[in-house]
Amino acid sequence: MLRDHKPEFAAAIRHNALASCASAAKHFGLWLRTAPSEHHLTCDHGHGSGFIRHRTARFEPHPTLPVAAIEDVVLQAMTCLEPPASTAIATSAIRLHGVPLALLKEHLRGDRSRPALTALHELDLRAESIVEVDAQHLFRAHGIAFDAQVAIPGVGRVDFLLEGFLIVEVDGFAFHSNRHAFRNDLARNNASTVNGYAVLRYPPEVIWFEPERAIAEIRAALRLRRDAPAQLAGNHPPLDPGFPGFSPLPRLQNGR
């Protein structure tokens, strides 16, 4: 029978426990980039080994599956995992499932939970994907100030705006999924340049596996503007996104 279950559920049943923390993130559709190498299980006994044990369950678990409540999954992740893995789980639980931030803070008031509480206070719920959470963490770790999900006249909403002129976009896996999206994105890039903004774009792989490259390029772009100030972005009327060449392009037949 255990072969018919998900591995984390099979481990939970075998150990008379509940899948929790990182092992339950996928069940709830929470943002987690790397699956855990060991099962995370909640149990109120000291038996068994070969898994990461979580002892505290504050909420009623799933009525039929061996999985902890989503609130417990988030609370355990905040005290078990390091940011940005923990903060990505918390952000997605709040955004996708409506888990109250105040509830999480209330249950993490103890001294032993101080680092987790600090991380909760620093959550930026404007992040719309795991790669945006990871980019936020990367910027903070390197002392780079940013604003997120900024609406720029003549350009649209951008993922990050640095020092008022540098747009940083972190494109998800589905980005440029068709020719229409690709053409509109080219028009948006052109609108950004004509309106005085610099643009850097990164796929998730660069944020995750080449963060030093992204930071070096961002710092170089910021340094160029500081060393050779030009017309500052936003100091002139934005070009109308409806003028020829910058309006959303119509769909073409046969995807061309």
Share of the chain above pLDDT 90, in %: 70
Task: Name the token pair of 220.
Answer: 């170089």
Same domain, 73 and 138: no
Residue 35 pLDDT > 50, yes or no?
Answer: yes
pLDDT of the residue at 246: 44
User: Is residue 117 domain-shared with residue 178, that is, in the same domain?
Assistant: no
Q: Are residues 92 and 53 in the same domain?
A: yes
How does pLDDT run across 103-131, given as a tens digit for each residue? Answer: 999 999 875 778 898 899 889 999 999 99
Give the Cα-Cα-Cα angle 193, 198, 199 (nearest 5 degrees).
Answer: 95
What mean pLDDT comes out for the span 162-167? Answer: 96
Name the domain count of the chain.
Answer: 2
Please say whether the beta carbons of 204 and 170 come within 8 A: yes
Same domain, 169 and 235: yes
Secondary structure letter of residue 253 according to DSSP: G
| Mean pLDDT, range 4-18, rounded to an integer | 90
> How high is the pLDDT of residue 95?
97
| Average pLDDT for the chain | 87
State whether 74 and 173 are in the same domain.
Answer: no
Looking at the fold, whether 60 and 168 belong to one and the same domain comes out as no
Of 39 and 172, the one with more pLDDT: 39
Last residue of a domain, one of 94, 121, 148: 121
In a shared domain, residues 136 and 111: no
Is residue 228 located within the same domain as residue 205? Answer: yes
Residues 65 and 144 in one domain: no
Last residue of a domain, one of 97, 121, 145: 121
Q: Which domain holds residue 116?
A: 2-121
Domain termination residue (choose one: 121, 149, 172): 121
Question: Which tens digit of pLDDT belongs to each residue from 66-104?
Answer: 999 999 999 999 999 999 999 999 999 999 999 999 999
Q: Report the distance separating Cα 56 and Cα 51, nearest Å.
A: 15
**Average pLDDT of 14-22?**
97
Looking at the structure, tell me whether residues 135 and 240 fall in a common domain.
Answer: yes
pLDDT tens digit string along 226-251? 887 554 555 555 555 444 444 444 44
Indicate if 228 and 155 belong to the same structural domain: yes
The lowest-confidence range among 150-159, 200-209, 228-237 is: 228-237
Which residue, 161, 159, 158, is CA-closest to 188?
Answer: 158
Single-letter code of the amino acid located at 22: A
CB 89, CB 120: distance < 8 Å: no
Same domain, 92 and 167: no
